[in-house]
Amino acid sequence: MCFPKSGFKTINAPEVFEEGRFEDFKKGGYYPVNNGEVFGSKYQVVGKLGFGVTSTVWLARDLKEHQYVSLKIYKLQEADWEEFEVYKRLNQGNSSHPGHGHVRKALGMLTIPRVGGDHYCFVQRPTWESFGDLLHRNPSHRFTEELLKAGLMQVFLALGYFHAECQLVHTGGGEKDTSILDMFAKAEIDNPSPRKFINDAPVYASRQLGLLKRFRDVVLGDFSSAVRGNMTRNHDAQPNVYQSPEIWDLFEGKHMFYGNDPDGKGYSTRAHLGEAIGMLGSPPIDLLERGVRSHEFFAENATWKSSVAVPQYTSLERSEEFLEGKNKDMFLVFMRGTLQWRPEDRKTASYWMILG
């Protein structure tokens, strides 16, 4: 593929733009990728898919296998080795498991040499947008009932493989459609992405993939926060407001818990716990006995001792706003199956798959 060297919009110098906002970029920490560049003697960059605090992500064409891949190019001498180990375990799992095809795999890893230090790069099959991106495209910022059902069934398959076959826990979807990737490449050639130059290093605008004609395969991805499931953990598994079922956010268009402390300083554990107690009731004593911080919030008899009041008159029934009748009852049964204080009491993905 030949990519134009001119004809693109140049972003004004003062404008904050993509990864150019990060100090590490200004220090030369990001690899200055250009469209048309070839890595590993086979992967030609087609266009930019996104960026983050540790990497940029690009659509590329495998010139030998004649297929598209995505390249996650890490900052200078930085790579998430734990994530790579997770992918190794996923690749070694039981390929006959029905969830095997719904978990994103790594095709490989390569090193991009550069004066001053090398950059590491994950090679993967490209996927369409995440559920979060899809929400932003939807004017209502929530999933329809049909979309939620279709997506969840495939997520359960993926989680069943992830948990049972690989003994891993996902704590952080896509769709395979080559025509969308072809359109992406053509758009990048016909209408090159805007870009900005900082100390001669290019910063490309990320380009959205086209809309799908229909919703098909969902894959579980982004394993940067995944951990081994056969080891005891005591860290925060997710961002503060997502320490509750994200399924609720997808369908209701709001968080179940916010954790805003009445002291006005933002999120706090005590406010989050108070909301959870208001919704679920008090946690069982045996669970509190396991917690290393239980004494901060509960007395010895398991009563709440924090100065933050537990919200009154809250319930799942009152909080759910979009369903009625049998469908609402079924959804709340599902939510209660996941909203259990004890981890061992929570219904598994396999349980919901069997239930259908």
Enumerate the domain spans of the chain: 18-204, 234-355
Q: What is the mean pLDDT of residues 218-234?
A: 54
Q: Which residues are catalytic?
A: 177
Residue environment code for 243-258, b if the CB has 16+ CB neighbours within 10 A, otherwise e: bbbebbbbbbeeebbe
Among candidate residues 42, 39, 45, 46, the one with its CA nearest the CA of residue 64: 42
8 Å CB contact between 221 and 104: yes
Q: What is the mean pLDDT of residues 174-189?
A: 76
Among candidate residues 64, 65, 6, 78, the one with its CA nearest the CA of residue 35: 6
Question: Which tokens belong to 52?
Answer: 């983050």
Read off the pLDDT of residues 307-330 as tens digits, 9 standing for 90 and up: 999 999 999 999 999 999 999 999
**Domain 234-355, classified CATH 1.20.58.2240, yes or no:** no
Q: What is the pTM of this model?
A: 0.68
Which residues fall within 8 angstroms of residue 217, CB to CB, at 6 or more apart? Answer: 101, 102, 154, 174, 175, 176
Confidence of residue 240 (pLDDT cuts 50, 70, 90): low
3-state secondary structure of 61: strand
Read off the pLDDT of residues 206-225 as tens digits, 9 standing for 90 and up: 998 876 655 567 777 665 54
- Give the rounded percent of residues in the chain with a pLDDT score beyond 70: 86
Q: Looking at domain 18-204, what is its CATH homologous superfamily?
A: Phosphorylase Kinase; domain 1 (3.30.200.20)
User: Could you please report the per-residue DSSP string of 78-142?
Assistant: ---HHHHHHHHHHHTS-TTSTTGGGB--EEEEEEE--TT--EEEEEE------HHHHHHHSTTSS
